Structure 1
């Protein structure tokens, strides 16, 4: 295993990490965060010449560029884009989720773009939805870049240092430690995703209730 690790070209790891994060940020539901964590774990191994700085920079650039492309597409195609994504990726997109994300972005603006970077289900919406809502691009870029730096850089270095600690203190059990690093790196986003799913259900129920009340009033009139 250690010999195989030494054959991995560092540039290939940087490109894969950057592309995965960029494609996810574009609005395509691939496991960008999982790939980023895996790349950060590789950088923590002393056998390889993969730099965590290179991974962080690649992931940050991928996030900013991907979100910017998604913003441009969303600004041009608007709701037609979400209709296509809902048909193309029915397990990742739903009308309720799109409506909830739109509600959040309309209410919180730049803050939603920044915080959404840390939540998988909102991360894929940030660019396209901000463009669809015609958010001022300089404001979007500021929130997008700052969120990318905190999320991509923070995830990379957190997993890197946990991996280094595991290799140092667990010695022969370092792979167990690296597995622990994956759990730590993904735990926060998993908790946030579950909370988001609950919020979407509550939002959908409240919207349905409001629509029913409105229909009742119109019928009474």
Structure 2
């Protein structure tokens, strides 16, 4: 199944089963935030599409946004814990083992910015799923990680869902 077929299938399912929208959005956000899975799921376009479904008035915004945030939190948490568990061994695992220069840049980024790297990384496409893993490898303390992870996940979910949900139209009218 190609990305376009996956996107269409998921959006059709959400449209037909609106009560499942928060759960499905959470799963998509989890896939987007998990280190390796993020490469296989076209989550960004699906999230924007779900935002458009919200904008049509069929699906409530807040439960879907919370679902997306929870999925993103869990995906980053799993990536972080994998990094903490495997430490330097995670750098040799696929796909990180194929891109040692990217890992070095990620480590420098995490060491320089600490927990802020999680917040900033969440909004940078390729870094979104890798920064938490590298933060775990770099042994970023758990409390700063969790604070950054939770706060940025809710902001991230809002940013991806709100435009399609009608934020742009609302701002034009305001």
Q: TM-score, normalised by structure 1?
A: 0.63
**What is the aligned counterpart of 1:117 among 110, 116, 122?**
122
CA drift of 1:124 comes to 0.7
Does the aligned pair in 2 maintain the 1:56–1:152 contact within 8 Å? yes
Question: Which residue of structure 1 lines up, in the alignment, with residue 153 of structure 2?
Answer: 148
Question: Which residue of structure 2 lines up, in the alignment, with residue 42 of structure 1?
Answer: 53
Partner Cα distance (2:96, 2:121) in 1: 23
Question: Which residue of structure 2 lines up, in the alignment, with residue 179 of structure 1?
Answer: none
CA drift of 1:74 comes to 0.8
Does the aligned pair in 1 maintain the 2:90–2:96 contact within 8 Å? no
Unmatched 5+ stretches in structure 2: 1-11
Gap change, CA 1:73 and 1:7, over 3 Å in 2:
closer
Partner Cα distance (1:16, 1:67) in 2: 17
**What is the aligned counterpart of 2:25 among 12, 17, 24?**
17
Q: 4+ residue stretches of structure 1 with deviation over 3 A?
A: 4-7
Secondary structure of the equivalent of 2:93? helix
Partner Cα distance (1:136, 1:11) in 2: 37
CA RMSD of aligned residues (A): 2.5
The number of residue pairs the alignment matches comes to 157
Unmatched 5+ stretches in structure 1: 170-221
Does the aligned pair in 2 maintain the 1:86–1:95 contact within 8 Å? no
Gap change, CA 1:141 and 1:155, over 3 Å in 2:
same
Gap change, CA 1:52 and 1:100, over 3 Å in 2:
same
Question: Which residue of structure 1 lines up, in the alignment, with residue 77 of structure 2?
Answer: 68
CA drift of 1:35 comes to 1.8
CA drift of 1:77 comes to 0.9
Q: Which has the larger radius of gyration?
A: 1
Question: Which residue of structure 2 lines up, in the alignment, with residue 173 of structure 1?
Answer: none
Partner Cα distance (1:31, 1:105) in 2: 26
Does the aligned pair in 2 maintain the 1:25–1:126 contact within 8 Å? no
CA drift of 1:97 comes to 1.5
Question: Which residue of structure 2 lines up, in the alignment, with residue 101 of structure 1?
Answer: 106
Gap change, CA 1:6 and 1:17, over 3 Å in 2:
closer
Partner Cα distance (1:87, 1:95) in 2: 7
Q: What's the CA shift string for 1:12-37, capped at 9, x where partnerless?
A: 33222211211221212233222211
* Bigger relative CO (Cα 8 Å, ≥ 6 apart): 2
Gap change, CA 1:87 and 1:25, over 3 Å in 2:
closer
Secondary structure of the equivalent of 2:95? helix
Secondary structure of the equivalent of 1:85? coil
